[in-house]
Structure 1
Amino acid sequence: MDLTATTQHLASAAADLVRLVPGKLIDPVLSGVLLTADAHGVVLGANDRERTARVSRGALVHTEGRVLVPAKPLAETLRALTQPQVRLVVEGSRLAIRADGARFALPLLDVDLHPGAPESAVGGSTVSGSQFAAALATVATTASRDEALPIFTGVRLRSEGDRLVLRATDRYRMAIASVPWSADTEIDLMVPAALLAEVGKQVAHIDRVTLQATENHLALAWSDTVVTTAVLDGSFLSETKLALSDADTHIEADADTLTAATRRVALYSDPRGVVQLEAGDTELRLRATDHQAGEAEEPVKATITGGRTSPSFQSRYLLDALRPFAGTRVRLAIQPGMRATVLTAVDPGEVDLRYILMPMLPPKV
């Protein structure tokens, strides 16, 4: 194999691939990147037997070929190069990376042991890349990171008419977002949140993303990238198991103002980071107290209707809940007692988002 390519394009492809499929450190073959060069350019592929990725880039191919090399060293080397062009050429048992007099060489792994990379997805349902990314920025980060509870580490993707609904929870909070989509079939799958979080970052400026589902796998395709992943069992994940219709207090406030006040007051919270929201007539008063840190309170102008429920929340979860509503007004529907509070946008856009937050016991005075 022998090819010349634009360094920046090849480096971005390798970096995207490594983030989509980090690889199995215990198996060098599954931690490798499969490079396939032909008349159409070069394809970088990865497969760890649970997820796969394939990224294509244009290249001037002098000699067609197929090799397997360690993925991360290739990505890091390409990222570090400042020369505009780079040449990849097989030299004996190594792949040489040449750029204006510099030479780096990676060992060739056994390409015949690699399971291969996915072909491009054909057909499937489509969603706006920017809207999908906006939904995933909130929903995917709400899933649990505790691998001991894998059923909470995914995002449930479910088609509901002309909307694709995304749901995730870590048992203390839940985020639900829906986006318009063009569906050719119904889907209902639980997809690892870590992968979708990275997909969201890569498709933020992409026009369309294609989703193609089977019983045990989901394929996502955009531009020159195709990703597949095994799915989890997520049929249990639904907000219908939560009582969300008994709110007795409704609060509307500027999300940025409320976020800033929460950060300041949380500096004086107890070790759990608990902040109390006390609803008044025309303002929402945030309070926090700790025997060592002291105490703080700050009012935020708000439109308040209904009762005077005063829930307490862990500040970091409240800040996470407010983050997707930045730059807008947010509505809090507060239920009495230790029941969930629902945050929504006062004027929702194409991405319809609901964030369900469980309260904490108030701090002991």
Structure 2
Amino acid sequence: MRFVVDKSTLQDNISKVIPAAASTKVTSILECVLIEAEDVVVFTTNDMKMQMQTEFQAEILERGAALVKAKLLSDIVKKLPSGDVEIIREDNEVKIRCQKIEFRLPTLDPLDFPKMDRKPIDSFCEFAANEFEDAMDKVIFATSKDETRPTFTGVLFEREGDVINLVGMDGHRLAICKLKPIEVDGEFSKIVPAENLDDITKIIDIEEAEKVRVSFFENQALFEIGSTSVIVTLISGRFFDYKNVIPTEYSTKISISADVLESTLERASIVSKDEKTNVQAVIFEVSGMMFRVMSYSTDGRYEEDVLCDVEGKDIRIGFNVKYFLDVLKVLDGGVDIYITSLTSPSVVKQQGDEGYIYLVLPVKMPE
């Protein structure tokens, strides 16, 4: 195997597949990248949960394949100067040359590398890349990292007529983004691991892709973004019946700038941590037309009267400040907050956007 390619092209393509290279303390074939040079160069990584593959043009002088540590190759390429890079396999060694620089890496047998095969597709949906990326930003953060509740660690992809519901939740909050696909076929309700989706969205910027195609088959999903494809293993199990927890009425409504509320809550969070529960609680108090934000702990107290529009009943309610800050970071313009009661979830919506809804449970207020 022997090919020549520009350093920036090489670096971009190794960065696309590096997330699926397993990180282990002992040498493993799963921490390697499979390099195949035929009509094009193909990079493949696979940690047995996710496989990432990308292809690119290069000057191929000799066909062949090699298998080297992905992170090691990535680290080397980052430190090379600009210009052409030559990659050569000779026997059990891969040479990486650039100007007067030469690295030599051992190669494992490419035939031993495990590949996930593409299977017949049951259903698919295709989105505008920028809309898909925006939707992921608004949903992934609401998922859980608790592996004992696996369905909460993923994002639900659910077809509902001509719309795809993308849903993430962790038991304390729920984010729903309704996305209109460019094309869709078949019925589906699948849970995709959130950590994989986080890696997939990063590819969109590198690829400068216009579309993202998602196909489902058996227990896997295939994401196609430009010249890169990603196969992920789906999360088994039934997703929580989220539609039944969305409030249909409210007692108090607060309309406010997302930026203003975010700044207010950033200040409130400074003295909000309860040392017993480790929760950063903040209090929303509505009295007449006044909206006040408060927090207090052993570290101190905070109060601020915030300019906004208020309607409905007076209320004093506590929230985990982190859960509010997380959603405000992904919203622009004005937001409406609908409060029902001290025990029911409150709803956050972006003004002018009926396709997104965020639910957050209240918490016990500091005494």
> Is TM (by shorter chain) over 0.5?
yes
Task: Give 1:287 deviation, angstroms.
Answer: 0.5
SS of 1:95's partner is: strand
Q: Structure 1, residues 168-204: CA drift from partner, whole Å, max 9, x if none?
A: 1111111111111020222210010001012122225
> 1:235 aligns to what?
238
Q: Structure 1, residues 220-242: CA drift from partner, whole Å, max 9, x if none?
A: 00111000111012532232231
> 1:284 aligns to what?
291
Task: Give 1:116 deviation, angstroms.
Answer: 2.6
What 5-or-longer segments of structure 1 have no aligned partner? none
Residues 22, 333 of structure 1: alpha-carbon distance in 2 compared, 3 angstrom cutoff? farther
Kept in 2, the 8 Å contact 1:321–1:357? The answer is no
Whole-angstrom distance in 1 between the partners of 2:104 and 2:93: 6
Give runs of aligned pairs for residues 342-353 of structure 1, distance below 5 A: 342-348=347-353, 352-353=355-356
Whole-angstrom distance in 2 between the partners of 1:185 and 1:59: 38
Kept in 2, the 8 Å contact 1:189–1:234? The answer is no
Give runs of aligned pairs for residues 205-224 of structure 1, distance below 5 A: 205-224=208-227
Give runs of aligned pairs for residues 267-346 of structure 1, distance below 5 A: 267-271=270-274, 272-290=279-297, 292-325=298-331, 327-346=332-351
TM-score, structure 1 length as denominator?
Answer: 0.93
Kept in 2, the 8 Å contact 1:154–1:234? The answer is no
Give runs of aligned pairs for residues 53-202 of structure 1, distance below 5 A: 53-116=52-115, 124-181=124-181, 182-202=183-203
Q: Which moved more, 1:309-318 or 1:216-225?
A: 309-318
> Runs of 4 or more off by more than 6 Å in structure 1?
119-123
Kept in 2, the 8 Å contact 1:330–1:346? The answer is yes
> 1:36 aligns to what?
36
Whole-angstrom distance in 2 between the partners of 1:141 and 1:27: 33
Task: Give 1:148 deviation, angstroms.
Answer: 3.1
Kept in 1, the 8 Å contact 2:318–2:363? The answer is yes
Give the superposed CA RMSD: 1.9
> 2:10 aligns to what?
10
- Which amino acid counterpart does residue 238 of structure 1 have in structure 2? D
Task: Give 1:27 deviation, angstroms.
Answer: 6.0
Whole-angstrom distance in 2 between the partners of 1:270 and 1:47: 41
Whole-angstrom distance in 1 between the partners of 2:325 and 2:21: 29
Task: Give 1:119 deviation, angstroms.
Answer: 6.2
Whole-angstrom distance in 2 between the partners of 1:37 and 1:117: 19
Whole-angstrom distance in 2 between the partners of 1:117 and 1:218: 11
TM-score, structure 2 length as denominator?
Answer: 0.92
- Which amino acid counterpart does residue 194 of structure 1 have in structure 2? E
SS of 2:329's partner is: helix
Kept in 1, the 8 Å contact 2:287–2:315? The answer is no
Kept in 1, the 8 Å contact 2:116–2:231? The answer is no
Kept in 2, the 8 Å contact 1:35–1:42? The answer is yes
- Which amino acid counterpart does residue 64 of structure 1 have in structure 2? R
- Which amino acid counterpart does residue 225 of structure 2 have in structure 1? W
SS of 2:180's partner is: strand
Q: Structure 1, residues 206-258: CA drift from partner, whole Å, max 9, x if none?
A: 21111111131100001110001110125322322315123211111001000
Identity %: 24
> 1:52 aligns to what?
51
- Which amino acid counterpart does residue 192 of structure 2 have in structure 1? V
Task: Give 1:141 deviation, angstroms.
Answer: 1.9
Residues 121, 2 of structure 1: alpha-carbon distance in 2 compared, 3 angstrom cutoff? farther
Task: Give 1:138 deviation, angstroms.
Answer: 2.2
SS of 2:54's partner is: strand
What 5-or-longer segments of structure 2 have no aligned partner? none
- Which amino acid counterpart does residue 287 of structure 2 have in structure 1? G
Whole-angstrom distance in 1 between the partners of 2:231 and 2:13: 17
The alignment covers a number of residue pairs equal to 358
